[in-house]
A and B are shown apart, each in its own frame.
Chain A
Amino acid sequence: MAPVVDQLQSRRFTLDAAHEAQEFYHSRGWSDGLPVVPPTPEAVAACLDWVGLPPDHLVGVEPVRQRAITAEKVAINAVMAGCLPMHMPVLVTAITAMLSEPFGVHGATASTGGSAILLVVNGPIRAEVGMTSTFNAAGPSDRATTVIGRAVRLVVMNLLDVRPGGIDRSTFGHPGKISFCVAEDEEHSPWLPLAAERLTPAGVDPAMAYDPATSAVTAMAAMAPRQIMNEWTTEPERILDTYVAEIRANMRHYSIWPGHYAIVIPPQLRAHFEAAGWSKADIRAYVFSRARIRREEWSEVGKGAVVGDKGDREYQALPDEDHLLVVAAGGPAGGFGLVIPPWLGPKSRAVTVPVGACVDC
């Protein structure tokens, strides 16, 4: 069989010098505005070699516009984003999750609401590729999370044609649209990893059934993170009341519709939950029961015009307890927390895919 570099099917361009690559890609609308690494055939082939996929391997098909995305095209965008070959397994998994029908990538990336694709990474692959889960966990904490999150955005732009003013109709968007990838801090957490909970069938104890050697990526259509703070209690209920207040604020100020919310809990607050013996399931149950508003509350925030005769109707943030994604991450000091609201309630579902899974094999 021919070397991978000779199997590549994408158009090749010969530039007079390496430094011309920046303007070549920017001028064609093929970048997010940041510099790109020139995707040479050799660099792209190295990515495909690492992940063990032939160039024409079908990673997935976007369900609405039927755009097929091959491993070769993912690898090209990965190189441009700054990915190393070892980042490819996480990226391919993220793209697989994003393209699954429940995720609804077309609406989530085209909407005026302007969501980003949040990735939460679990399992041993985090350490293997150099992800960190502590300082600056939701921002540019390390090379791997930054470039993988960016590669997802470049794939959306270049392979789904989702560009600002084109299919991307975001009124504002948010900085997470550049890159939004968090590695869960499993090593310093008393809890099951997010993926363990989400990949374990209902009725089965994830603590018994989940293989800790599993790595996985969860994708969620996410609005900008909102930071909360409560350093003045050790009671789990009071800590969660602060998270719930932010969720309720989102329901009042942004969208009342139920969907996936993610909350990120740092070590300083996790210690209080651990001391009290609270599991992630306990947290989900508490938040589910309290993250609710009545429609009449909209009249307090300028939206009285649409309260109508439904003022007494109660709306819950979460359709059920499992719609809350509880993630352990963050630097060692600070009683902060993050609430990451959904793009738009039930229009997109969070999807978790194990690394190495083949959805159509």
Chain B
Amino acid sequence: MTIDVLDPTHGEEHPELQPVDRLTSLDGLTVGIVSNGKQGTRPFFDAFERELRDTYGVAEVVRRTKTNYSAPADPEIMDEATEWSALVSGIGD
């Protein structure tokens, strides 16, 4: 005897987000780095910033830190991010 059962998930109701168009170059652009605020991010993003400047010609790197590493970035950071060409967000423990 057959049995009908239901999907306990959102199924296809929430299609995966699509990535924005990729940048072809970072030369002369402004890139934001948003840290979750944990200690491990500091040396990593220090090195990452140098790499962005020295290897990829990034003109300006803006460093910001979330006030709560378990919550989304603060609204002020997201507002400011609209002025950046790219944003790199990462966690560190």
Contact = CB atoms under 8 A, between A and B. Distances in A.
A24 B72 CA distance: 35
Contacts, number: 85
B27 to A, nearest CB: 34
Interface in B9-23: 9-11, 14
A64 B72 CA distance: 7
Interface in A90-121: 104, 106-108, 110-112
A13 interface: yes
Contact of A107 (B9, B10, B14, B70): B70
A10 interface: yes
Nearest to B10: A159
The A interface, classified by DSSP as helix, strand, loop or mixed, is: mixed
A285 to B, nearest CB: 29
Given A64-B71, A112-B93, A347-B70, A159 B5 contact: no
Contact of B7 (A10, A64, A104): A10
Given A67-B14, A104-B71, A158 B5 contact: no
B70 A108 contact: yes
Contacts of B69: 107, 347
B70 A15 contact: no
B47 interface: no
A257 to B, nearest CB: 12
A40 B8 contact: no
A197 B5 CA distance: 42
Interface of A: 8, 10-18, 20-21, 24-25, 30, 38-41, 44, 64, 67, 73, 76-77, 80, 104, 106-108, 110-112, 154, 158-159, 161, 344, 347-348
10 contacts: A10-B8, A12-B6, A15-B3, A30-B9, A39-B8, A73-B8, A104-B71, A110-B70, A158-B9, A347-B71
Interface of B: 1-11, 14, 68-72, 93
